[in-house]
Amino acid sequence: MKSPSMLRGLLSFSSMTMVSRVLGLLRDISISHVFGANVATDAFWVAFRIPNFMRRMFAEGAFSTAFVPVFTEVKETGTHAELRELMSRVAGTLGGVLLVVAALCVLFAPQVALLFTPGAVEEPHKFTLTVELLRLTFPFLLFVSLTALAGGALNSFHRFGLPALTPVILNLCMIAGAWWLSKRLQTPILALGWAVLAAGIAQVLFQLPALRRLDLLAWPHWGWSHPQVQRIMRQMVPTLFGSSVSQINLLFDTVIASLLISGSQTWLSQADRFLELPLGVFGVALGTVILPSLSRHHVATDTEGFSKALDWGLRTTLLIAVPAMFGLMLLAQPLVATLFQNGQFRPFDTRMATLSVTALSFGVPAYALVKVLLPSFYARKDTRTPVRAGVASLLSNMLLNGVFLMMLYASWAPPELRAGPLLDGLSRVPGLHLALGMASAVASYINLWLLWRWLQRADIYQQQPGWGRHLTRLALACAAMVALLLLGRWYWPDWTLLSVAGRVWRLALLVGAGGGTYVVVLFATGFRLRDLHHQ
């Protein structure tokens, strides 16, 4: 595929994803306003995070990266009947396996809750809520994985918009759950669980007309012995881990956060939402758009085309991810205060969530670049290398979690708490969740460094000319943006005391001025939109 086609695909995918992410932000604002940050919201975020972790793997990671190259190969070299047969067999096999997995997780929900939130055992009400919510949210895994199958097929036909728009359904259902259904239930937080379940079913139905138009809508059949299904499964198992390291890290963070002060799960989830915008709109979008192109270049043994496609992805990612990192770090408190501090969400919650946003935003470039680098391995059917990098990153995250947590505890805990039991002290010192964000960010850079190192060793990517100019322009534009934002933060230091209207216009001014400065300096130093077309 030529780069302009990839650019059109990126814009289509990104624009639809932008709608979804903005609604996702409105969803979290609604949840914070209606429920606040407390035991109930902590229970929901845990119950949602576990199947949502699976969604990330299947919808944006392992399944798509294993399925799309095989599907593209059959599409390019086989008949349409073979393509329909592949869809039927994959749908039947994937659906059958995940039906069993979802049923087991619903049946053993107390054990799953105990595994991921050991700290909740000391709070029976919180633990019971988590179990009830898990039983509502886990079937979402089955439906969203079938949605990912449909989306992967549509992406292979360069239909990027509809799959990217599909998550909007989840956000709309959860907003309705928070504002409408919660008022009609004896346990209001359960409304969010029912909303997730309804959204999973609706997302599958939403994709079916588009598949029918491509004549790919076939009745599912069990196909474990089908050769192409076996290829997908063989590639998918290691890919499950390799493409989902950041999400596995988040699950480990969930376990540790259950030992910390109440509200920590909610603050971490809100920080993750801010990362979703640059990562989902551009990082995941680039990875999704570039995978079919890399797969086709690999099938055609077009090394030059492979390098140009990957180079285009890397440059485009840096243009978005680096300013996004600085913007999120410097505007963390203004963003949290403006968007969340209302209703049941207090100034203390704003300060705590700000810590998470600041720490996690440091890793934005690494998170995004990993999403672009991984398809370069998966397009060549190399699933082993990402797993090796993922294991190293995961172990680093676990080690750094402990190191940073103990450092902060030693610095912030009063002497009387440090003299008592450690677990009791951890649950009483606010702000310790900062350690989890710091560890995740550093581990993401370790993952990126290892992938880049092994990509260079494989000698499949030749760096294209012009990187020096590209990085110089990027550095100058970011420096100008940072200087302006620092001036704004110095002039308006504490946002928790401002009125809602005051926060809104000040944030709009800073975002507009910062973004405008970045774009103006970028173009003043020679950047042009056609540069993207030529990569």
Encode pLDDT of 392-429 as tens digits: 988 999 999 999 999 999 999 998 888 888 888 888 89
Sign for the CA dihedral angle at 308, 281, 505, 272 comes to negative
Average pLDDT over residues 32-56: 83
Q: Please say whether the beta carbons of 20 and 280 come within 8 A.
A: yes
Least confident range from 42-56, 121-135, 235-249: namely 235-249
The predicted structure's pLDDT at residue 534: 42
Q: What DSSP character marks residue 119?
A: G
The predicted structure's pLDDT at residue 3: 41
More confident residue, 11 or 230: 230
**What is the C-alpha separation between 280 and 22, in angstroms, rounded?**
11
Asked whether residue 217 carries a pLDDT value surpassing 70, the answer given is yes
Confidence of residue 479 (pLDDT cuts 50, 70, 90): very high
SS3 475: helix
**What is the C-alpha separation between 122 and 105, in angstroms, rounded?**
22
Least confident range from 51-65, 281-295, 345-359: namely 281-295
Stretch (H or E) spanning 27: helix 3-35
More confident residue, 310 or 131: 131
Which of these, 349, 42, 20, 352, lies nearest to 192 by C-alpha position?
42
The predicted structure's pLDDT at residue 228: 86
- The model's pLDDT over 15-32, given as tens digits with 9 standing for 90+, comes to 666 777 778 888 888 988
Asked whether residue 173 carries a pLDDT value surpassing 50, the answer given is yes
The predicted structure's pLDDT at residue 354: 93
- Helix then strand count (H, E) for the chain reads 25, 0
470 CB-near residues (< 8 Å, 6+ apart) = 315, 318, 531
Tally of CB atoms within 10 A around 105: 20
Asked whether residue 81 carries a pLDDT value surpassing 90, the answer given is no
The predicted structure's pLDDT at residue 198: 96
**What is the C-alpha separation between 122 and 417, in angstroms, rounded?**
19
Asked whether residue 325 carries a pLDDT value surpassing 90, the answer given is yes
The predicted structure's pLDDT at residue 406: 94
Tally of CB atoms within 10 A around 233: 16
Q: What DSSP character marks residue 346?
A: -
Token look-up 């979402």 returns 140
Asked whether residue 48 carries a pLDDT value surpassing 80, the answer given is yes
More confident residue, 246 or 92: 92
**What is the C-alpha separation between 285 and 280, in angstroms, rounded?**
6
The predicted structure's pLDDT at residue 190: 95
Asked whether residue 295 carries a pLDDT value surpassing 80, the answer given is no
Which of these, 106, 366, 398, lies nearest to 252 by C-alpha position?
398
Q: Which of 15-29, 238-252, 298-312 has the highest mean pLDDT?
A: 15-29
**In the chain, what percentage of residues exceed pLDDT 70?**
87
Q: Please say whether the beta carbons of 39 and 344 come within 8 A.
A: no
More confident residue, 42 or 279: 42
Average pLDDT over residues 427-432: 89
**What is the C-alpha separation between 440 and 245, in angstroms, rounded?**
10
More confident residue, 310 or 401: 401
Average pLDDT over residues 487-505: 90
The predicted structure's pLDDT at residue 243: 57
Asked whether residue 244 carries a pLDDT value surpassing 70, the answer given is no
pTM above 0.75, yes or no: no
The predicted structure's pLDDT at residue 218: 82
Average pLDDT over residues 212-233: 85
More confident residue, 458 or 89: 89
**What is the C-alpha separation between 169 and 154, in angstroms, rounded?**
18
Confidence of residue 2 (pLDDT cuts 50, 70, 90): very low
| Mean pLDDT of the chain, nearest integer | 84
Report residue 109 as tokens: 């929900």
Q: Please say whether the beta carbons of 278 and 17 come within 8 A.
A: no
Which of these, 164, 168, 136, lies nearest to 150 by C-alpha position?
164
Asked whether residue 262 carries a pLDDT value surpassing 80, the answer given is yes
Q: Please say whether the beta carbons of 320 and 405 come within 8 A.
A: no
Q: How far is CA 221 from CA 93, 235, 316, 443, in A?
A: 7, 21, 40, 41
Confidence of residue 246 (pLDDT cuts 50, 70, 90): low
Asked whether residue 199 carries a pLDDT value surpassing 90, the answer given is yes
Query: In sequence order, which ranges of 36-179 are alpha helices (DSSP H)?
Result: 39-60, 62-77, 80-107, 109-116, 124-137, 140-156, 161-165, 168-179
Confidence of residue 535 (pLDDT cuts 50, 70, 90): very low
Indicate the Cα dihedral angle 375, 140, 128, 262, nearest 10°.
40
Report residue 246 as tokens: 């950041």
Tally of CB atoms within 10 A around 227: 11
Asked whether residue 8 carries a pLDDT value surpassing 80, the answer given is no
